[in-house]
Amino acid sequence: MATKGPHCSFVLLAEFDIDSGAQLTYQFPQPLGTDEGLLANLMLPDGAERHFEDWTIFFLNQTPFNTIAPVLALETHEPNDDHSSAKGSHSELIYVLNLVRTKHDKSVRRGAVVKAMAICTRHPFIQIFKPVLLLALDDYFASPSQDCLARLFDAINSMDISTAPVLTRFEKLIMRASERKDIFSEKFAPSKVPDMAVTPLNGSQFTRTGNQHQTTSSSSSHSSEESIVAKNRNPYSNGSREQSAAESSTTSLHHQHHHPSSPSDSSFSLGGSAVWVNDDSVILDSQVGLAIGGGPGSVASGSGTLASRGRRSTDASSSSSSGLETDHTHGAPIPTTSDSQLRSGISKDTHFFQTSIIYKEHHLPIKLPLATFPEEVGDYSLMQLIQTFSTPLVTVLGPLHPHLHSNGSLTHPIIILFNALVTGKRVLFLGHNIPAGQVANYVLSACALGSGCGVVMGGFIERAFPYAGLAGGEDWASTPAYIAGVTNPIFETSIAWDLLMDIGTARVVVHRDIHINFPTTPPAIGPLLTRQTIRAENSAASEEEIARIATRDRETSQKTDFTAKADSLDNIFMEDIISAITSRFGENVVRLRFVEYVVRFVRLASRYEEVTSGATKLFYPSAAFGEGSLGSGVVFPDETAALKELAANASRIEGWRRTKLHQYCVSEFQRFQATSAIKGFDLTHQLSRLRFGKNLPDVEVEMIMRKIAENVRSYEQVIELLAHTPLHLGGLQPLSFCLFHQQEVVREAILDVFNELRAHPIGVVFLQTLNHFQRYAYVRQAHARETRSREQGQQLIPPLPYAARTPSSRSEVSLGGI
């Protein structure tokens, strides 16, 4: 994980004095150089004495009033390329996790002692430091001295994450969308062998050398799955592939000339199926059916004729259901994992990096999340935010505003909040008599909601104040488009805000002066979309009839709230979200759905810009498929649906274009075009056409598959393709249907794509998600290609570019087995 400098930059200690109020007692290792009274009041929130314990979160280096200026300059760390391009040269944001505790003591004045300890870090995943902060504050209550702060500072900075894998943006997207606990397991360094608490039954003696154990007995051995882990530690090097090919059967000539675009061992291993491609006698239909289905007696079990021929399956699921695997050297049963999602005996969740913090001889296990983005701070919960403001008790008050009420009076409160966030409104979360930590979580959840969980947009955290108090209120309240959390109800009347979210009473209040602060005019696209929509729905109507209908609709809109539709797309989306929460689908599913929602919003805005100004910098320009050129841009079911969706989003898109978020998205798209591994065409559009298109022309399908096959030749390109086919949206399903296309060139192209995927562990994971019928089709066609190549006596050669292939040569590319 890219990081320079300490994990913890400062440790702070604040105490409440009955005479002088909140006081900042210690700053370690040096003073921050900012207002100490402001820091003390942030660490000791209003009403802290009413709660035994409370967590608060705030940020430093956001605005001039909370920018630090330490005497000794802090070490800088490597910039995170996820969102660094849009932030310019601002000071690096520092995240502060604060724990305040009240200890009742009748021997002191007012009968209680209130102390707070905080750590300042550059890591947005601040929740990992909660256990050690708990111990440190307990330590300080027992022995109040600056030594406690020094021990905490040293303990956190001794945390070792040097071997944590560094994931690219697309690898993070794949990991977030997968629930497999072994995703990208090949990127982890070899785990150390733990101390064995049991005495070996065979009497062998273990000797310890460093962090590994060695046995003096000759009966020790490694399972076949451990050997697979060893081979997969560097699965992308040519050497490991050559070694894998050397271990397999060498009777065929093409095993001596392996190419990365073809599989490298002697079998297919796709989620319980092991189909051998070098022996025609094994590929009988009945045996293939058993292999695809797995189960007792299948070839995947590694028993029977295949075992007698000395061949082995590389599929981890081929182990017995009893959790024991036979040692291939000595025949002794060895334990394996019982989780069917874990490959190669890996027992940890690879969504996290396992490390530890040692504080006063306490070893605290730490699970470092690997797929977070800078706009995701702490352990927020979209489910909690949605449930709070989706109950029947929620009341929406105040005037209607086009930027906020995209569906008129029937706009869902969460959609009102989203519209306020993306159009730059001042949002205030109020939690009277609610712990400040809970209020802060609502603010962080709102930032994730607007940014698409950090994946799509940025610029929310830098204007967020998870906990804001009376101290410095004039400063943070003057921040444009702030997102703040408060516990004091006086803020409802004392400062300016545009949208108030009352957590305790579930009120959503739009300020009465919203139209004065944000005057609006009808979108320029309105009349144009109205006439085009009427024309699309009344194709036989004359121009006079269209004009009369448009005039009637305008008159009706002045009298009624015609934009309020119970079956609007936003309402349907929120109904799906609430249904998912009710059905206990989990937080991750909700986050993925909102990522899709925000992505769709940005792409709609790009189409809106094209309609109004003729060009866009947000996304690929919209273009239909033409002779010799692929289409691009956002995909709609038909033109009428496109016009209706643009009309429903026009006002909030106009409001969004006036904010800094718009320029941020323009910069992000420019950076994406510069760094993308797959260039020259809109991959998202092509996959959407395969997924949603109806009656696609054969020539378009052929061109799509040719283009994808030509541009998926490296690991980076494979990762980008898989990131655009997330597992929760069906994974490779849109591509797999091409296995059944009537044209051979399309089937050959998808074979080349799938063969390239099989050369990488993550590609095999995605192929395993195909159903049995699709995997059978892939295996059958790949084996047929291999058979043809072997019969013709050709050696394995790198595949030609599609533009240089003849129809016959496209079916003669040899395919080695896994």
Q: Provide the pLDDT for residue 542.
A: 52
pLDDT bin (cut points 50, 70, 90) of residue 429 is: very high
Per the model's pLDDT, the better-predicted residue between 5 and 567 turns out to be: 567
Biggest alpha carbon–alpha carbon distance for the chain: 98
Q: Tokens 């399972």 label which residue?
A: 223
Write out the two tokens for 438. Answer: 């809970």
CA separation for the pair 797, 231 (Å, rounded): 24
The answer to whether residue 478 scores a pLDDT higher than 50 is yes
The answer to whether residue 275 scores a pLDDT higher than 70 is no
CA separation for the pair 156, 129 (Å, rounded): 8
**Residues of the chain with pLDDT > 70: what percent?**
69
The answer to whether residue 715 scores a pLDDT higher than 50 is yes
Q: Provide the pLDDT for residue 551.
A: 54
Q: Provide the pLDDT for residue 107.
A: 74
Give the number of C-alpha atoms closer than 13 A to the C-alpha of residue 727, restricted to the C-beta side.
21
Which amino acid, 48?
Answer: A
CA separation for the pair 120, 97 (Å, rounded): 7
Q: Which of 746, 757, 769, 696 is nearest to 721 (CA)?
A: 757
CA separation for the pair 51, 93 (Å, rounded): 29
pTM above 0.85, yes or no: no
CA separation for the pair 528, 311 (Å, rounded): 68
Write out the two tokens for 140. Answer: 């300080």
User: Of 189-193, 393-397, 500-504, 677-681, which gets the smallest average pLDDT?
Assistant: 189-193
CA separation for the pair 91, 61 (Å, rounded): 6
CA distances to 83, 172, 263, 372, 716 from 719, rounded to whole Å, are 20, 10, 17, 17, 5
DSSP type of residue 248:
S
Write out the two tokens for 184. Answer: 């990208």
Q: Is 206 strand, coil or helix?
A: strand
Q: Provide the pLDDT for residue 529.
A: 55
* 24-40 per-position pLDDT tens digit: 999 999 998 888 888 99
Alpha-helical (H) ranges within 305-397 are 305-308, 382-388
Q: Provide the pLDDT for residue 274.
A: 39
The answer to whether residue 672 scores a pLDDT higher than 50 is yes
C-alpha torsion angle, residues 286, 290, 293, 296 (rounded to 10): 150
C-alpha torsion angle, residues 186, 190, 191, 197 (rounded to 10): 120
* 565-605 per-position pLDDT tens digit: 888 899 999 999 999 999 999 999 999 999 999 999 999 99
The answer to whether residue 316 scores a pLDDT higher than 80 is no
Write out the two tokens for 818. Answer: 């896994």
Q: Provide the pLDDT for residue 4.
A: 60
The answer to whether residue 95 scores a pLDDT higher than 60 is yes
Per the model's pLDDT, the better-predicted residue between 296 and 55 turns out to be: 55
**Residues of the chain with pLDDT > 90: what percent?**
50
Alpha-helical (H) ranges within 726-813 are 733-736, 744-758, 761-768, 772-791
Per the model's pLDDT, the better-predicted residue between 817 and 694 turns out to be: 694
Mean pLDDT throughout 238-262?
A: 38
CA distances to 110, 152, 277 from 782, rounded to whole Å, are 79, 58, 8
The answer to whether residue 78 scores a pLDDT higher than 80 is no
pLDDT bin (cut points 50, 70, 90) of residue 248 is: very low
User: Of 44-53, 68-77, 135-144, 313-322, which gets the smallest average pLDDT?
Assistant: 313-322
* Helix 413-422, helix 436-451: angle, nearest 10: 70
Mean pLDDT throughout 318-337?
A: 37
The secondary element (H helix, E strand) that includes residue 12 is strand 8-17
Q: Provide the pLDDT for residue 794.
A: 54
The answer to whether residue 754 scores a pLDDT higher than 60 is yes
pLDDT bin (cut points 50, 70, 90) of residue 235 is: very low
The answer to whether residue 259 scores a pLDDT higher than 80 is no
User: Across 298-307, 602-611, 621-630, which has the greatest mean pLDDT?
Assistant: 602-611
Strand-pairing partners, residue 397, are: 509
pLDDT bin (cut points 50, 70, 90) of residue 422 is: very high
CA separation for the pair 316, 387 (Å, rounded): 40
The DSSP-derived string for 506-542 is: TEEEE-TTHHHHS-----THHHHHHHHHHHHH-TT--
CA separation for the pair 293, 776 (Å, rounded): 10
CA separation for the pair 275, 284 (Å, rounded): 10
263 CB burial (10 A radius; 0-12, 13-18, 19+): buried
Q: Provide the pLDDT for residue 313.
A: 34
Q: Provide the pLDDT for residue 545.
A: 55
CA separation for the pair 262, 757 (Å, rounded): 9
The answer to whether the beta carbons of residues 436 and 97 sit under 8 Å apart is no
Per the model's pLDDT, the better-predicted residue between 122 and 628 turns out to be: 122
The answer to whether the beta carbons of residues 506 and 388 sit under 8 Å apart is yes
Q: Provide the pLDDT for residue 333.
A: 38
The answer to whether the beta carbons of residues 44 and 16 sit under 8 Å apart is yes
The answer to whether residue 207 scores a pLDDT higher than 50 is no
CA separation for the pair 259, 261 (Å, rounded): 5
* 377-391 per-position pLDDT tens digit: 999 999 999 999 998
Q: Provide the pLDDT for residue 392.
A: 85
C-alpha torsion angle, residues 558, 562, 564, 568 (rounded to 10): -140
* 114-146 per-position pLDDT tens digit: 899 999 999 999 999 999 999 999 999 999 999
Per the model's pLDDT, the better-predicted residue between 639 and 500 turns out to be: 500
The DSSP-derived string for 756-776 is: HHHTSHHHHHHHHTS-HHHHH
For the chain, which domains are there? Answer: 1-71+91-168 (3.30.450.200), 681-793 (no CATH)
* 461-475 per-position pLDDT tens digit: 999 999 988 877 778
Per-residue exposure over 295-316, b if at least 16 CB sit within 10 Å of its own CB, e if not: eeebbbbbeeebeeeebbbbbb
Write out the two tokens for 566. Answer: 């119970």
Which amino acid, 727?
Answer: L
Q: How many CB atoms lie within 10 A of CB 513?
A: 12
Mean pLDDT throughout 165-177?
A: 94
The answer to whether residue 807 scores a pLDDT higher than 50 is no
Mean pLDDT throughout 682-703?
A: 92
pLDDT bin (cut points 50, 70, 90) of residue 415 is: very high
Q: Provide the pLDDT for residue 644.
A: 86
The answer to whether residue 359 scores a pLDDT higher than 80 is yes
pLDDT bin (cut points 50, 70, 90) of residue 2 is: very low
The secondary element (H helix, E strand) that includes residue 553 is helix 543-559
What is the average pLDDT score of the chain? 76
- Give the list of residues 6+ apart from residue 764 with CB closer than 8 angstroms, or none: 269, 270, 757, 758, 818
CA separation for the pair 493, 510 (Å, rounded): 13
Q: Provide the pLDDT for residue 292.
A: 35
Residue 9: phi and psi, rounded to 5, are: -90, -40
The answer to whether residue 167 scores a pLDDT higher than 60 is yes
The answer to whether residue 614 scores a pLDDT higher than 70 is yes
3-state helix, strand, coil in the chain (%, to 5): 45, 15, 45
Write out the two tokens for 663. Answer: 């320029």
The answer to whether residue 217 scores a pLDDT higher than 50 is no
Residue 63: phi and psi, rounded to 5, are: -130, 170
Residue 83: phi and psi, rounded to 5, are: -140, 10
The answer to whether residue 332 scores a pLDDT higher than 70 is no
